[in-house]
Amino acid sequence: MAISAALKAIYASAPATQRYVETIALSHSLFPAGTYYLTNDNQAWTFLLETTSRAQTFTPVPFRVILPKIDNKGQQDLSLTIANIGQELIDPLEYDIGKGTEPIVCIYRVYLDQASTLPQNTPPLRLVITGVEVTKEAVSATATRTDVLNRAFPYNFYTYDLYPGLRR
For residue 147, what pLDDT band results from cuts at 50, 70 and 90?
low
Beta strands 35-39; 20-27: pairing state: antiparallel
At 134 the pLDDT is 81
Check pLDDT > 70 for residue 37: yes
Mean pLDDT of 58-87: 83
Task: Give the residue, 154 or 31, on which the prediction is more confident.
Answer: 31
pTM score: 0.80
Mean pLDDT for the chain overall: 84
Short-list 129, 65, 136, CA closest to 96? 129
CA distances from 47 to 53, 110, 117 (A): 9, 10, 5
